[in-house]
Amino acid sequence: MGWSSSEWAASHEPSGGPGPGPKGWRARGDDLLVNARILVVEDEMLVAALLEDRLAALGCRVIGPATAVAEALELLKAEEIDAAVLDVNIGGEKVFPVADVLAARNIPFLFATAYGSAGVAPPHNRREVLDKPYQTRALEHALRSALQSRQRH
């Protein structure tokens, strides 16, 4: 139960311009997404590339993508991360060890999965879940919300 690369690409909306907003949209310098370091954990390379493009259009700096849980854990040791987007199933492995480290460090994250919220195990089942394929605006909203919640703490 997942999306193939071709299904994802076919269902992913065109941006209509350089970013996810109206034609000509550009991230502002005071935008909290600008230069936010976002860890991407995704094993499907086309999906990862599309996600990287969308995050870059929002002004984010992409860390990764990690295509395996061990690789994601190494990136967490080596890089400063502001937030993360995690696919639940990475090469047949569940991503929850990465989620555990992020939660322990109080780094916001969200899940992007075709399994929906039913695929997210406790204690992370209260986290934001983007159902694949998701729209860029949903990604933007979820990341803004996550980063804003971190600023409040």
Q: Which amino acid is at 39?
A: L
pTM above 0.85, yes or no: no
- What pLDDT, in 10s, does the model give residues 24-69? 344 444 588 999 999 999 999 999 999 999 999 999 999 999 999 9
- CATH no. of 5-11+31-152: 3.40.50.2300
pLDDT at 27: 46
